[in-house]
Amino acid sequence: DGGITQSPKYLFRKEGQNVTLSCEQNLNHDAMYWYRQDPGQGLRLIYYSQIVNDFQKGDIAEGYSVSREKKESFPLTVTSAQKNPTAFYLCASADLAKNIQYFGAGTRLSVL
Amino acid sequence: AQSVSQHNHHVILSEAASLELGCNYSYGGTVNLFWYVQYPGQHLQLLLKYFSGDPLVKGIKGFEAEFIKSKFSFNLRKPSVQWSDTAEYFCAVKDNDMRFGAGTRLTVKP
């Protein structure tokens, strides 16, 4: 079954804790993206990667980190430096030639 | 950087009413335009897209959108909505980067 898998669906973070959100795709897409969705603000880009071992900051990268060691995987770490992490996080991937992004089901992160 | 504006935050319609959701963007160059839909509890999915050619594009589920270059607009339309169209709708514009609007929540009353 082709697509983008995000896990977990729900995640809780304690104060001072780093948490990692998983994103895996089997679409053979070169590009992958992380967005944060907050009510009334749409989707804001956190990080993106267009090739393995390379990634770029988006509009709101502070307090987040990523890695792209494999084409299929683009995990996002929400660090303790992110003071307002409660949000819905969406991962997407794209075939750069076709220029269309496909989205995962999302991870809802809350702070305990 | 470009911005994308969706003027309606929440739209409430009765079934069979006509729908038009506004989307305007700030960038004047060549752009690719998208409408995505997020049904309750589901993935964000592509509704339709415009890259070039006929400015009136048709998407899934009877939706269409018209690109009006002079107005920097890409409004989404549907002649007759159904209860199952209840969802959140996002306009997106891509030049070098993809930018999303804040979203419009559509509620269709049965």
Cα separation, B94 vs B103, in Å, equals 16
Query: Do B62 and B44 touch, CB atoms closer than 8 A?
Result: no
- Token readout for B63 is 């939706």
pLDDT number for residue B43: 87
B33 in reach of chain A (CB within 8 A) = no
Minimal C-alpha gap between B80 and chain A (Å)? 26
Relative to beta strand B98-100, strand B73-78 is unpaired
Q: Residue A1 pLDDT > 70, yes or no?
A: no
pLDDT number for residue B1: 67
Q: Which of A47-51, B28-32, B40-44, B56-60 comes out lowest in average pLDDT?
A: B28-32
Q: Residue B51 pLDDT > 90, yes or no?
A: yes
> Which residue of chain B has the CA closest to A38?
B102
The order of strands in the sheet holding A76-78 is A4-7, A19-25, A76-78, A64-66
Asked if A42's CB is within 8 angstroms of B101's CB, the reply is yes
pLDDT number for residue A28: 95
Average pLDDT over residues B22-47: 91
Asked if A42's CB is within 8 angstroms of B4's CB, the reply is yes
Distances (CA, A) of A12 to A57, A86, B24: 24, 9, 36
Give the confidence band of B88 by pLDDT, cuts at 50, 70, 90: very high
Cis bond leading into B55, ω under 30°? no
Q: Which of B86, B70, B77, B100 is nearest to B38 (CA)?
A: B86
Select from B43, B88, B95, B97 the residue whose CB has the most chain A CBs within 10 Å, as the one to mutate to test that interface. Answer: B43
Return the CA Rg of chain A: 13
pLDDT number for residue A98: 84
> Which residue of chain B has the CA closest to A34?
B98
Q: Residue B54 pLDDT > 70, yes or no?
A: yes
Cα separation, A37 vs A49, in Å, equals 19
pLDDT number for residue B100: 93
Asked if A45's CB is within 8 angstroms of B42's CB, the reply is no
DSSP for A31-80?
A: EEEEEEEETTTEEEEEEEEEETTEEEE-TT-TTEEE--SBTTB--EEE-T
Residue that has been written with the tokens 């070169």 in this structure: A30
pLDDT number for residue B28: 74
pLDDT number for residue B25: 95
Select from A36, A102, A103 the residue whose CB has the most chain B CBs within 10 Å, as the one to mutate to test that interface. Answer: A103
For the segment A46-102, what is each residue's pLDDT rounded down to a tens digit?
999 999 999 999 999 999 999 999 999 999 999 998 989 999 999 999 988 888 999
Q: Residue B56 pLDDT > 80, yes or no?
A: yes
Minimal C-alpha gap between B51 and chain A (Å)? 9
For the segment B1-18, what is each residue's pLDDT rounded down to a tens digit?
678 999 899 999 999 999
Percent of chain B topping pLDDT 90: 84
